[in-house]
Chains A and B, each alone.
Chain A
Amino acid sequence: GAVVSQHPSRVICKSGTSVKIECRSLDFQATTMFWYRQFPKKSLMLMATSNEGSKATYEQGVEKDKFLINHASLTLSTLTVTSAHPEDSSFYICSAHEKDRFRVTEAFFGQGTRLTVV
């Protein structure tokens, strides 16, 4: 199956700094990618939809100025956590879909990034 690569897998940063997470689709082009946040023992919570060449679409309650998303090419989306605080510590996961004309056929996830803000 298709591969989505996410980097870094783990990052520790100081409060107030910014952290960039990359998500790459390695063998297919993705006009749309998705960013999720996962709390311990919980399901995935969609944060935003990353759209190639245009602005990201954020879910309700997600601060767009805090979580900056850039999707500059068909294979790369980045999530930047700006001015990070300890409460931003979490597991962040990206995904990309393969689809036909009518529906999503497969959705592949990156390996996830464990962010710890100290």
Chain B
Amino acid sequence: GQQLNQSPQSMFIQEGEDVSMNCTSSSIFNTWLWYKQDPGEGPVLLIALYKAGELTSNGRLTAQFGITRKDSFLNISASIPSDVGIYFCAGQLKGGSEKLVFGKGTKLTVNP
């Protein structure tokens, strides 16, 4: 099925550094969602975006819905060890069904 292009696939950073990851597509989206998944757990919703250009924060996390509605990024500032995990973007296509399209994930490792 269709997937979003999520990058990078993995990141190794030092505690305190900022992180940025993004998802792009050739299709237009109504909704962008960002998730964090810990091993053996279901994804947990971090941020939801609904409007082109929208910039939303959740603590140290900031995400934006691209102006073209074809991309989104997630930033994590001042990373801490508990930020370790896999981050997924997901979106609902414009004019599509309720089904979500997922990125392949970004695995984040934070070195203390």
**A102 & B45 in contact (Cβ 8 Å cutoff):** no
Residues of chain B at the chain A interface (Cβ within 8 Å):
1, 3, 30-31, 33, 35, 40-45, 48, 50, 88, 90, 92, 98-100, 102-105, 107
Annotate A17-50 by CB proximity to B: 1 below 8 A, 0 otherwise: 0000000000000001010000001111010010
Beyond contacts A44-B88, A46-B99: 4 other A-B pairs, Cβ-Cβ < 8 A, are A104-B30, A109-B44, A111-B41, A112-B41
Is A112 a contact of B40 with CB atoms below 8 Å?
Answer: yes
**In the bound complex, how far is the Cα of B88 from the Cα of A110, in angstroms?**
15
Q: Could you give, for residues 75-118 of chain A, a 1 whenever the CB lies within 8 Å of some chain B CB and a 0 otherwise?
A: 00000000000000001010101010011111111111010000
Complex CA distance for A47 and B13, rounded to whole angstroms: 34
- Top 4 closest pairs, chain A to chain B, by CB: A109-B42, A103-B30, A112-B42, A104-B92
Most chain B CB inside 10 Å of its own CB: which residue of A32, A41, A44, A110: A44
Given A43-B88, A44-B88, A46-B1, are A104 and B100 neighbors across the interface (CB < 8 Å)?
A: yes
Kindly list chain A residues whose C-beta atoms are within 8 Å of the C-beta of B88.
43-44
- Which residues of chain B have C-beta atoms less than 8 A from A32's C-beta? 98
Interface size of A in residues (CB-CB distance below 8 Å): 29
Of A32, A104, A110, chain B has the most CB atoms within 10 Å of the CB of: A104
Out of B3, B31, B41, B104, name the residue touching A103 (CB < 8 Å): B31
In the bound complex, residues from chain A placing their C-beta under 8 Å from that of B1 are 46, 59
